[in-house]
Amino acid sequence: MSRFWLLLITLTLGLAKNVAAQTPDSASPPIPTDPTLAAAPQPLGVERNINRQATPIGTELLLYAEPAETSRTLRISAHRQLFVRSLLDSTWYRALYGGTQFYVKRTDVTLLAPAAPTPAARSKKASVAGKVRR
């Protein structure tokens, strides 16, 4: 008879743990947000897709935020493209890169051309190509 009560208590406690795990905890800490994204204005209506451009591979997009030490550099890789789209007020850009969304001021966006190969890299390629031809 004592085994029956022990089994019943064990099952009741296990069921209580499962129910407690499924209910959301209101005391859980809030999800941290990026302060540079929180300060950016949200679009008020349907976004106009003006100034939409696919940025070439190898291009860098410098995102400057206040303060300057929070600036970021994104380098476009071969399997991702960065799309910069203008928002309704035409002073903010929404940049999408690899599933991550950034809001930046229009004056703070700088598109840099891909870096040119150095002369040493060019001469190395030429010497390797010369060896293959021989």
Which residue ranges make up each domain of the chain? 49-112
Q: How far apart are CA 14 and CA 21, in angstroms?
A: 11
Tell me how crowded residue 63 is: count the other CB atoms within 10 A of its CB: 20
pLDDT digits (tens, 9 = 90+) for 86-116: 444 455 555 555 555 656 555 544 444 444 4
- pTM value is 0.21
- The share of the chain scoring above pLDDT 70, in percent, equals 8
Helix (H, G, I), strand (E, B) or coil at 129: helix
Mean pLDDT confidence for 1-20: 69
Answer whether CATH 2.10.260 is correct for domain 49-112.
no
Torsion angles phi and psi, residue 106, rounded to 5: -60, -35
The pLDDT of residue 44: 38
Identify the CA nearest to 53 among candidates 88, 82, 91, 75: 82
| 14 alpha carbon, distance to own chain's centre | 40
